[in-house]
Every structure is written in C-alpha cells, then in structure tokens.
C-alpha cells in the first residue's frame, strides 16, 4: 500500500508555558534541572502561581516532532488527547496549521487540556513540570488503524509509558504498524522515565522498535552503564537503527556494523533547549522516510539542523520553516 503519511506520532497533547527562572527557583521547588516531572492539578496551580510571566505555545514531545516533520516538508499525522477547552483549541489549531492530520476527538468532560510548565534557566536548560490533564483519556480506542497502516513510520514517545491506557494504545499501534509492514520508532524521552520503566523499555527495544531515539543520559540509564561508549556497544544490534543525541557533541547513528558520528551544527547561540530532541527526531525521520534509509549520516545531519533551529529561540516549534533552514544549509 502506498503510504499516505511519512510519520504518525502518538503522544501527550500538551500546551507549554515557558518562563525564565533562576537556579534558586528550581531548588526551592525541588526540581532536577533538565528533566520532566509529573504533577497533579493542585501542584500545577501552586507552581504556576509562583512562576514568572510566560508565553504559551503548543508542545508535547511527539507532537513537536510531527510538527517539525511537517515543517521539513514531510506528511505527518498525530494522535493525542486534548479537552474541548481554550487551550485544547490552541493545540488543535497549531498542529493542523502546520499541515498535520489530527484525527483524535477532544475529551468533552474531565480534566482540562494538559500543560507543561517549563522553566528556562540562564544556561538555556529547560526543566519541566507536566500536568497531564486530558491526556489521561488517551487509550487504544483513539488509535486510528487506517492512519497507522498508512504511515511509513509510527513514532511513539516514552512519556506514554507512565500510564497504562496510553501504553496499551502504544502497543496497539506498534502491532498494527508491523502487521502492515511499517516501521516503529520510539523516543526514550527522559532519563527518569527510563528509570521508571527500564525492563519494559528493554523488552520493547529488543522486540518492537526499529528506530530508537535517545540522548546520552537516557541510553546510559537504559543499560545502566556509566559511559556513552558502553551504552553504544549495548544498543548496537539491539534495534535496527539507533540515533543517539549528545547536545553540543552532535549525534551518533548506529545500525548494526554501520556507525556515523555526526557533528553538531556550528555557530548556534543556544537560547532554550526545549524541544531539541524532538526536533532532531523530526529532521532524522524526514530524511529517513524521504528515501534516506540508506544514508543515515544524512538523516543525522538533518536532525542536527532541525535541532539547531529550535534551540536558537524560545519554544519547541520552529520559528523559521525547517525546509527553508535546510535549503540554506545544504541546498
């Protein structure tokens, strides 16, 4: 069957609230810099009350990746749950405005649309506290089988593993994709998320994942090793392709015997790292599904270019269309 979509993403549908904070603020609120913590509605209200004036923009890890893929020129679809409220409408508008197909119906009762309170410190690091809100309603019934079967790659965010229903949706989708002869990709999302679900992630990577995305901390946490190189040796052969991001050191792409060391884009002024990993996956998967399966170095380069755009400004979605950024860099 011809693929109608390059990538379909399944993930939490979240609106980000970004504000500057100093290190003392993180300490006062018991946050670990650079990570994501889940909070309930009450804690979210409390934290928001203490937070600086911010900006709001659509976020969510897999949603950012699919919006980025569309901005590269790819054909994307997204499955995720918002509520039928004002922020839900913002999320819906933003992802459809990038040309992404978003078939999931909004929840008509229960918790409001999810938000992620993101504190950006002077070192451009982002520290996140997520109130999942309506995302908890996402389950297997939301997995649109036609969409999954019509996409070259089904992309899943590790964050979904925190909830049983979302995990079931994830497994349903992976099964459908493989049955249709498609590929499955997973992003490990966060080292703490890996910590919480190490055994099932290991099993998943071994049995169900074709393309794995992880950063240095996440891949080291997955294999419980102390060096990036040790993690690299583990992941080789564990899944078809692994794309491992290393911040300013660029990325390493490994597939069996094949390995590529891709340097980071030079001359980037880092303003806010929110969404860097999501953007890398967007660029990589665009290259991969655009005929680049046999040129993994090129896929890694596209990932690096997309990430460089995202970290050069506040927020996790592109300010400049990524196809224009790529055209300016490599023609």
Residues of the shown chain interacting with its own copies in the complex, contacts defined by CB under 8 A: 17, 19-20, 48-49, 51-58, 67, 85-87, 90, 93-95, 97-98, 112, 313-315, 317, 319
Question: Among residues 263 and 324, whose Cβ is nearest to its own copies?
Answer: 324
Question: Among residues 90 and 259, whose Cβ is nearest to its own copies?
Answer: 90
Question: Among residues 60 and 112, whose Cβ is nearest to its own copies?
Answer: 112
Residue 94 CB, shortest distance to its own copies, in Å, is 4
Q: For the stretch 258-284, what's the b/e string if a residue is b when 16 or more beta carbons lie within 10 angstroms of its beta carbon?
A: eebebebbeeeeeebbbbbbbbbbbbb
Residue 205 CB, shortest distance to its own copies, in Å, is 32
Residue 17 CB, shortest distance to its own copies, in Å, is 8
Question: Among residues 57 and 220, whose Cβ is nearest to its own copies?
Answer: 57
Residue 295 CB, shortest distance to its own copies, in Å, is 29
Question: Among residues 87 and 262, whose Cβ is nearest to its own copies?
Answer: 87
Residue 314 CB, shortest distance to its own copies, in Å, is 7
Contacts of 170 (CB under 8 A, 6+ apart): 10, 156, 160, 161
Residue 329 CB, shortest distance to its own copies, in Å, is 19
Q: What are the strands of the beta sheet with 211-215, ordered from one edge?
A: 76-79, 5-10, 151-157, 183-187, 211-215, 241-245, 251-255, 258-262
Question: Among residues 85 and 295, whose Cβ is nearest to its own copies?
Answer: 85
Question: Among residues 1 and 49, whose Cβ is nearest to its own copies?
Answer: 49
H helices present in the chain, as ranges:
23-28, 41-50, 61-72, 86-97, 145-149, 164-179, 191-196, 198-207, 216-223, 228-235, 276-287, 296-311, 322-330
Question: Among residues 130 and 221, whose Cβ is nearest to its own copies?
Answer: 130
Paired tokens of 191:
């080292």
Residue 18 CB, shortest distance to its own copies, in Å, is 9
Residue 50 CB, shortest distance to its own copies, in Å, is 9
Label residue 207 exposed, middle or buried (CB < 10 Å: 0-12, 13-18, 19+).
exposed
Give the bridge partners for 239, in sequence order: 236
Cα–Cα distance for residue pair 84/82, rounded to 1 Å:
7
Cα–Cα distance for residue pair 6/331, rounded to 1 Å:
22
Cα–Cα distance for residue pair 302/59, rounded to 1 Å:
21
Cα–Cα distance for residue pair 181/216, rounded to 1 Å:
30
Question: Among residues 94 and 217, whose Cβ is nearest to its own copies?
Answer: 94
20 φ, ψ to 5°?
A: -75, 150
Q: Is the distance from CB of 71 to CB of 318 less than 8 angstroms?
A: yes
Residue 109 CB, shortest distance to its own copies, in Å, is 16
């Amino acid at each position: 069957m011809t693929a109608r979509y390059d990538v379909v993403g399944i993930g939490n549908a979240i609106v980000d609230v970004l504000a500057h904070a100093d290190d003392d603020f993180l300490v006062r609120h018991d946050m670990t810099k650079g990570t994501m913590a889940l909070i309930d509605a009450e804690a979210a209200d409390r934290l928001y009350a203490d937070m600086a004036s911010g900006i709001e923009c659509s976020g969510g890890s897999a949603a950012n990746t699919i919006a980025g893929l569309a901005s590269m020129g790819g054909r994307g679809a997204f499955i995720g749950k918002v509520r039928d409220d004002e922020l839900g409408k913002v999320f819906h508008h933003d992802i459809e405005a990038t040309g992404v197909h978003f078939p999931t119906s909004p929840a008509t009762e229960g918790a409001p649309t999810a938000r992620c309170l993101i504190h950006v410190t002077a070192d451009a690091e982002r520290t996140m506290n997520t109130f999942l809100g309506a995302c908890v309603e996402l389950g297997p019934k939301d997995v649109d089988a036609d969409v999954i079967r019509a996409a070259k790659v089904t992309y899943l965010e590790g964050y979904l593993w925190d909830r049983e229903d979302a995990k079931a949706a994830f497994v349903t989708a992976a099964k459908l994709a493989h049955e249709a002869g498609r590929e499955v990709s997973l992003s490990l999302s966060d080292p703490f998320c890996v910590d919480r679900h190490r055994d099932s992630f290991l099993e998943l990577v071994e049995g169900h994942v074709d393309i794995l995305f992880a950063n240095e901390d996440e891949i080291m946490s997955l294999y419980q090793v102390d060096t990036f190189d040790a993690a690299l040796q583990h992941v080789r052969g564990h899944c078809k392709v692994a794309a491992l991001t290393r911040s300013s050191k660029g990325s390493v792409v490994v597939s069996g015997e094949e390995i590529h060391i891709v340097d980071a884009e030079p001359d980037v002024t880092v303003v806010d790292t929110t969404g860097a990993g999501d953007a890398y996956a967007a660029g990589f998967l665009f290259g991969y599904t655009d005929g680049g399966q046999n040129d993994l170095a090129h896929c890694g380069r596209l990932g690096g270019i997309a990430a460089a755009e995202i970290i050069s400004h506040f927020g996790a979605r592109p300010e400049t269309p990524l196809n224009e950024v790529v055209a300016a860099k490599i023609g």
